[in-house]
Amino acid sequence: MATVRIPLARALVGVAFLILGCDPGRSHWDAPIEGGPRSASHVASQERDRRETGQALATDSVVRGPATADDEKVVLFGDLHVHTTYSFDAYLFSLPLMGGEGAHPPNDACDFARYCADLDFYALTDHAESLVQETWEDVKESVRQCNAVAGDPADPDVVAFTGFEWSQAGTTPEDHYGHRCVFFRDTADDELPTRPIGARSDDGILASARDNIGFMRIATPWNWQVYSDYMRFVTRIVDAPRCAEGVPVRDNPASCREFALTPAVLREKLDDWSYDALVIPHGTAWGMYTPATTTIDKHLDPAQFDAERQLLVEIMSGHGNSEEYRSWREWHVDGEGNRVCPEPTTDYLPCCWQAGEIMRSRCGDLAPEECERRVELARRYATEAYVRPQQVFPDAPIEAWLDCGQCRDCFKPSFAYRPLESIQYGMTLTRDDARGPDGKPLRFRYGFIGSSDGHSGRPGTGYKPVERGMMTDATGTPNTIALLAQEFMGQMEDPQMPLRPESGRIRLTGNDLRVSNFLYPGGIAAVHSSGRSREEIWDAMQRREVYGTSGPRILLWFDLLDGGNRHPMGSEIVRTDTPRFQVRAAGAPVQRPGCADWVHEGLSPERIDRLCRNECNNPSDVRHPIDAIEVIRIRTRAADGEHIEQLIEDPWRRIECPLDPAGCVVEFEDPEFATDGRDTLYYVRALQEPTEEINGAQLGTTFDDRGRATAIHWCDPSDDCLAPSQERAWSSPIFVDYGPPEPRSESGPPH
């Protein structure tokens, strides 16, 4: 049984924070939106450059004929996953206790999107579980104000959307569905829900956090008001009444807190509101809250899957990449129903195995037989943890766990990677016993986007590899504070006996301080839009004519060529002959330091310093070259016994590009499609030349000559932790179903 030396830990924490100053952000809670529209000449120049780059890359293999609407589409960049300090966790991160810089309410997001990140659109998606009537009204009003200063609604400089995050986290694989952003097309009061819809009420955790923060008012009396404000914020959430269950959404009072415990109930409530909305899953492979061995299969349950709203999925965020499938497992079950910890391989170290090794290092004078018994016990207990197996040895330093649980060969992987929740795995699934709205077997026909999932009111981070504390959710908290946090987690009465985790709870005990090495500058969403208006951007998302990047503004076009016609990314095509594709890609502009003149003309120096830290998206006229195009081919599962590794071909093709800043054009075809006769999807990755990036090396694991991990080199939070990385863009898939081609209308092929 563990005991936590709370008096010592609290005393040490209190002493540590004597060196911290007052919260600089308290006076910013009511800061108005300061900037007007972006420079019209700058916006026009960006659009012209993106169009001309794409047109210059077009080749003679496409019979272009007269100019079409597709030729006039423009690539617009945005962020559809943005948290402000109206989210409980974001507010917590903003406190001096966490090394935070203070408040960043919704108005900050508008100015940051417009002037720092230079975005074309964004969506506010604070955690619904943290929003009450007053803060929900503030969110809606902030979005309306941001749109009001955007200029002509038919041609605005920025489009802001209103939304919330439905933040579900189950304690077992069976009841876990994960987090989803919900946002709406329109912004008027009669076009939005009266209240957001949360996944569950974790008021016990909120109340506990409030009570513990009370100690900080005593330890740092100069911050008394800061912590009092936070306690008042949490109390307002906890004290708000819950909506009555089973009552139509419009019949409950505006002031109550509404919850949907499953995706099915969320869909029912959105149906009840009947407003145009999109529901975007995110962080699917992130193991910080996803129980080990969770699979995405149950998301496709017809009762739970909202096929009409769930058109897109977030492939990359500031919490990592969820794209890639891997064959290793956290643990498996034997024929007798026992959980078995697998041995490590050169590409994966199970945390249950490392728990045994930590136990072995503590055996000391124990008899060999007893040592081995406890090693096996530690491994078994770690398989019971689901999340945070560090609970087995909560006093172990983070270095002792090495890089267990991590994907070693993934690009910027999510922490504690869950391969059966990866997007590639999900795209293999099909339900022959259920049909989607199109009458076809039910499948995930997702378009791919990136977004930030940032918690400081800063949409579209990731444009430069600078200011880790601004671009990522990793704070600048010194290592001393991290070590004190480990002390706070507790000491063990008997360090030679592993602890059995408490069942049925997502525990913070044994918190893993390695996670800060897996927090990245945010991804970004791109749309191929007919124009800049809200309706045109929304239509592009509905068509799935979207793609995601790991942050840089890479340009990407991916088309199926059909005679003189093009079917863009996101399309569904039915055919029996060989499909042929074209990819056009251009790297992101090389960044210049600082902020452009038009930024200084729109915001005060104080606002630029606080929000942008004097580093804005500031593109030059030169682009990074594209290194290669990778083609991923995924065939849907035809029978339960098929091996996943045979369905996911990553990469199926890799085509090298000339290192030309003007971009890269490739074409390829798949003659096997016609002979195999299977529904197949294709998507591409455009890989930019390697550059130095924040947290590019994650834990910097070193290995011995047998490929076994020997040490990790976790990054100091005060450092930008730059290392070479290959930034990329992911196209949405083109879904090619096998069968007689659909009749083509006179207006051209369906998009």
So what's the pLDDT on residue 474? 86
Q: Where are the domains of the chain?
A: 31-51+76-201+242-326+416-474+519-610+623-689+726-738, 332-406+476-517+697-711
Give DSSP secondary structure letters for 378-414.
Answer: HHHHHHT-SS-GGGGSTTS-GGGGTTTT--TTSSSBP
So what's the pLDDT on residue 294? 96
Q: Tell me, what DSSP letter sits at residue 39?
A: P
So what's the pLDDT on residue 715? 83
The pair of structure tokens assigned to 564 is: 């003189």
Q: Is 598 exposed, middle or buried (0-12, 13-18, 19+ CB in 10 A)?
A: middle
Cis omega (within 30 of 0) for bond into 651:
yes
Q: Please name every residue paired with 546 in a beta bridge, in sequence order, or none if there are none.
A: 527
At 338, the amino acid letter reads N
The pair of structure tokens assigned to 264 is: 């099915």
pLDDT, averaged per 10 consecutive residues of the chain (751 residues), comes to 37 44 60 94 96 86 48 93 95 86 95 98 97 97 98 97 96 95 97 96 78 78 88 92 94 96 97 98 95 95 96 98 97 93 97 98 97 98 92 92 97 98 97 88 96 97 94 68 51 89 56 86 97 98 98 98 94 97 98 98 97 98 98 89 91 96 97 95 98 95 95 85 96 96 52 45
Task: Look up the CATH superfamily of 31-51+76-201+242-326+416-474+519-610+623-689+726-738.
Answer: Metal-dependent hydrolases (3.20.20.140)
So what's the pLDDT on residue 476? 54
So what's the pLDDT on residue 511? 54
Other beta carbons within 10 angstroms of residue 261's beta carbon come to 16
Distance between CA atoms of residues 241 and 13, nearest Å: 35
Which residues lie below 8 Å from residue 349, measured CB to CB, with a gap of 6+? 402, 403, 404, 405, 406, 709
Give DSSP secondary structure letters for 493-531.
Answer: S-TTSPPPPPTTS---TT--GGGGGG--S--EEEEEESS
So what's the pLDDT on residue 219? 75
How many residues are present in the chain? Answer: 751
So what's the pLDDT on residue 211? 80
Q: Which of these, 576, 546, 582, lies nearest to 564 by C-alpha position?
A: 582
Asked if 323 contacts 422 with a C-beta cutoff of 8 angstroms, the reply is yes
Q: Please name every residue paired with 258 in a beta bridge, in sequence order, or none if there are none.
A: 197
Q: Tell me, what DSSP letter sits at residue 418?
A: -
Residue 503 Cα distances to 9, 340, 383, 404, angstroms: 26, 18, 11, 22
Distance between CA atoms of residues 103 and 90, nearest Å: 9
- Helix H or strand E segment including 348: none
Q: Tell me, what DSSP letter sits at residue 241?
A: P
Across the beta sheet with 312-317, the strand order is 320-321, 312-317, 447-450
Q: Which of these, 56, 42, 64, 44, lies nearest to 585 by C-alpha position?
A: 56
Other beta carbons within 10 angstroms of residue 240's beta carbon come to 18
The pair of structure tokens assigned to 334 is: 């034997």
Distance between CA atoms of residues 419 and 325, nearest Å: 5
Q: Please name every residue paired with 558 in a beta bridge, in sequence order, or none if there are none.
A: 583
